[in-house]
Structure 1
Amino acid sequence: MLQAPIYYHGTRANLQPGDTLVPGYPSNYGTRRPSRYVYLSARLESAIWGAELAVGEGPGRVYIVEPTGPLEDDPNLTDRKFPGNPTRSFRTAHPLRVLAEVHGWIGHPPEQLERMRAFVASLGPQADPVED
């Protein structure tokens, strides 16, 4: 019997089980224009990066989420940057339901995090999510 994948979402938002993440909020990257999608990953590592790189105040948080509609590969990371989908990253135009918060995850070392932040900042508007 196949087990459904566990999906994760990284953010700085303080959410509770039952809350929903919906499209329409400013992106965490690039020019921060409102996004038509909500992003998620089947890899905890990818969600940790999302939590650490998210703009805003407060600690990064990682949630286990349940999609309420169809998913598609995230074109920002799939084929455009990494052939196939090794990051197991997806997007959806439908809400994600928060099931639980992941506690005890380990973030990246400060120097690695700063290198990634500098890299994302160097992209400027190129860091805007693909919204096609």
Structure 2
Amino acid sequence: MNMQLNAREIATILASLRLFQQQAGNVDIAEMFPDHFIDVSPLSSVEIDDLCEAINLAEIGELDYVTHDFVRADCSIHGAMLSDNDCDIIIAEVKRLWASGQFHHTGVYWIANSLAANGMIHPTLP
């Protein structure tokens, strides 16, 4: 299964895993949720730590490609030149939109256009 989650969904999953981890020593989780553990056993505390770490790394890596070079390449279609500060503002907006589930990976150019129209960035045009 491969799906894209927003920051709120990821935070809820991580919190749920940590709660599950805390309760695992006090109750029989497989007995509490028998439909989920028909053919498998619950993760151990160490396995939950590993899963949380993997989710955190995947979340961070999701936008790793949105670098200054990527932003400049994506936004230079009409010759616009962006400063490092402009790129930082665009990347921050991408992360903000991604965290709220509103970012689409084809939208960096349009985000930059919107920021420029609102005077938030100042690209140099030919």
Normalising by structure 2, we get a TM-score of 0.23
Structure with higher strand content: 1
**Higher RCO by CA contacts (8 Å cutoff, separation 6 or greater):** 1
Give the greater-gyration-radius structure (CA).
Answer: 2
Normalising by structure 1, we get a TM-score of 0.22
Structure with higher helix content: 2
